[in-house]
Amino acid sequence: MKVFLDSIGCRLNHSEIETTARQLLANGHQIVTEIAAADTIILNTCAVTAAAARDARSRTRQFHHTNPQADIVLTGCYATIAPQEVANIEGAGRVVVNKHKHQLVQMLDPQAHLSLPVFDQEPIMREFLAGSLGAHTRAFIKAQDGCDNKCTFCVTTIARGQGQSRHMGDIIAEIQALAGAGYQEGVLTGVHLGSYGRDLSPNTDLATLVRAILHHTDIARLRLSSLEPWDIPDGFFDLWQNPRLLPHLHMPLQSGSDAVLRRMARRTNRANFRQLADAARAAIPHLNLSTDLIVGFPGETAVEFAESLNYVQQIGFTRLHVFSYSPRPGTAAAKFPNQVPGPVKKERTRRMIDLGHELSLAFHQQYLGQTVNVLWETAVGADSAGLRWAGYTDNYIRVTANGPADLGNTITPTQITAAQSDSVWGVT
Ligand code: SF4
């Protein structure tokens, strides 16, 4: 079977589609990077915003028009919260909800064995990853799924259910195999990574997992994907004394107004978040502290938005992922009164994004003239000076530089020569 794979949304979705790819390869199937070449197409969908659902519909139609014979399988959060709506998309074939996603390969190939070792196929895997899904020299590793919190805007708990942790031994084995296969960096992903281990018996926690990974594996670089700003045990940031744990924390704040945070049912507030940010900065040199922000949440007044903008400036985040509030089916907030009018949301979103650009540029400018280590990922073009590569520093700054054909998946010292809000230029 020739399979084309695609994924929308979070790194957890990416890590799941990477696992599906390895299982398919281990069972003798072929991964193709051309839609037209596929017998089967699998799309891991996202439901976090209306835009993500729209994207899934347009990709499905595009798959169908490009390859009408292909069997199109739709899985993921959008397929889980609206299976009938997804089944009605032109070209949609099977709809596989999240709780059955782990059996997807067996649904396609009843003879398939999901327990087969899957990492000795890595050279093909990396080639496939380079060909589609956006060249990762970083491997995304699923540590946890689901969430027990009830943030009022969030559809993820509806789509992914309660918090579930993978066994530590499986995670360590996967990361060691990836390191053995040449991956330089592993990214731990989850819906609520901070709750890792709570559901295991005996229970454990994220700090114990990170310590065990750094002790039992040879992975050169370990990154945490996203960490909700609560349930972080004292001393957690001391883990970063190990230089293999990368100085980048993505902690979703969502709003800088306490009144809005209460309506979101977020288990944090301005004072607690500041304390956490200060503790992280004190413990982790060169910390890149990024965040998610929702603008235009129901009932958000001009005063609350101004509070949020000011607070974000004061914390001095280094990168903002800004979302214009999008009511999601089944969430409490979708029924809240005082939904903010579209034009107001749009204007506020633009102002928050502009602030994000200012903050990122200021952060990047601190590195002008400095030499930093960069893990090179993708050749992004060529110019008179030769091939142009893109990669990331250990604190997750995107760097572009000219370099030789074999720069990919190597870590080299790079001097930063120019800075923009979304990336920097360097010489390596
Ligand atoms: S912590 Fe809140 S926003 Fe995050 S996944 Fe859980 S419910 Fe959703």
Pocket test residue of 13, 81, 150, 151 for ligand 1, highest count of atoms within 8 A of CB: 151
Report CA(304)–ligand 1 centroid distance (Å): 22
Q: What pLDDT does residue 119 have?
A: 54
Q: What pLDDT does residue 116 have?
A: 58
Report CA(4)–ligand 1 centroid distance (Å): 30
- The 8-class DSSP code of residue 340 comes to P
What residue owns the CA closest to ligand 1's atom 8? Answer: 154
Report CA(265)–ligand 1 centroid distance (Å): 10
Alpha-carbon distance of 289 to 315, in angstroms, equals 9
265 Cα nearest atom in ligand 1 = 2
228 Cα nearest atom in ligand 1 = 1
Report CA(303)–ligand 1 centroid distance (Å): 25
Pocket test residue of 158, 191, 195, 323 for ligand 1, highest count of atoms within 8 A of CB: 191
**Residue 68 has which token pair?**
């009408």
Report CA(230)–ligand 1 centroid distance (Å): 11
Q: Is the peptide bond before 343 cis (omega within 30 degrees of 0)?
A: no
Query: 224-252 burial, b if ≥16 CB within 10 A, otherwise e?
Result: bbbbbbbbbeeebbebbeeebbbbbbbbb
Report CA(144)–ligand 1 centroid distance (Å): 13
List strand residue ranges (DSSP E) for 252-318, in order: 288-295
Output the ligand 1 site: residues, CB below 6 A: 147, 149-151, 154, 156-157, 191-192, 228
Phi, psi of 196 (to 5 degrees): -55, 135
254 Cα nearest atom in ligand 1 = 3
191 Cα nearest atom in ligand 1 = 5
Query: At a CB cut-off of 8 Å and minimum separation 6, what does 416 contact?
Result: 364, 367, 368, 369, 370, 371, 372, 399, 424, 425, 426
Report CA(149)–ligand 1 centroid distance (Å): 6
Pocket test residue of 150, 189, 228, 291 for ligand 1, highest count of atoms within 8 A of CB: 228
Pocket test residue of 98, 156, 267, 323 for ligand 1, highest count of atoms within 8 A of CB: 156
Report CA(145)–ligand 1 centroid distance (Å): 11
**Residue 265 has which token pair?**
């049912």
Q: Which helix (H) or strand (E) holds 36?
A: none
Check if the beta carbon of residue 330 is closer than 8 Å to that of residue 337: no
Biggest alpha carbon–alpha carbon distance for the chain: 60
Helix, strand and coil percent figures for the chain, each rounded to 5: 40, 25, 35
**Angle, helix 11-26 to helix 122-131, in steps of 10 degrees:** 130
Residue 414 β-bridge partners: 372
Query: At a CB cut-off of 8 Å and minimum separation 6, what does 219 contact?
Result: 175, 176, 178, 179, 183, 184, 185, 186, 213, 244
Report CA(47)–ligand 1 centroid distance (Å): 13
Q: What pLDDT does residue 88 have?
A: 97
pLDDT by 10-residue block (mean), the chain, 428 residues: 94 91 90 95 93 96 97 96 96 95 91 66 49 64 95 94 96 94 94 95 95 97 95 92 97 98 98 97 97 98 98 98 93 96 97 98 97 94 90 96 91 96 93
- Among 396, 253, 267, CA closest to 312: 253
pTM beyond 0.75: the answer is: yes
Report CA(255)–ligand 1 centroid distance (Å): 14
Q: What pLDDT does residue 136 have?
A: 56
Using CA atoms in the order 225, 258, 305, 331, what is the torsion angle rounded to 10 degrees?
60
Report CA(192)–ligand 1 centroid distance (Å): 7
Hunting for tokens 């903050």 — which residue is that? 359
Instruction: Transcribe 44-62 into DSSP letters.
Output: EE--SSHHHHHHHHHHHHH
Report CA(377)–ligand 1 centroid distance (Å): 30
Q: What pLDDT does residue 110 have?
A: 86
Check if the beta carbon of residue 66 is closer than 8 Å to that of residue 31: no
Provide the sign of the torsion angle of the four alpha carbons 264, 269, 270, 276, taken in this order. negative
What residue owns the CA closest to ligand 1's atom 4? Answer: 192
If DSSP states are collapsed to H, E and C, what string results for 214-269? HHHCCCCEEEECCCCCCCCCCCHHHHHHCCCECCEEECCCECCCHHHHHHCCCCCC
What residue owns the CA closest to ligand 1's atom 1? Answer: 149
150 Cα nearest atom in ligand 1 = 7
Q: Which domains does the chain have, with CATH numbers?
A: 2-108 (3.40.50.12160), 118-246 (3.30.750.210), 254-365 (3.30.750.200), 371-427 (2.40.50)
Alpha-carbon distance of 326 to 282, in angstroms, equals 35
Q: Which helix (H) or strand (E) holds 179?
A: helix 168-180
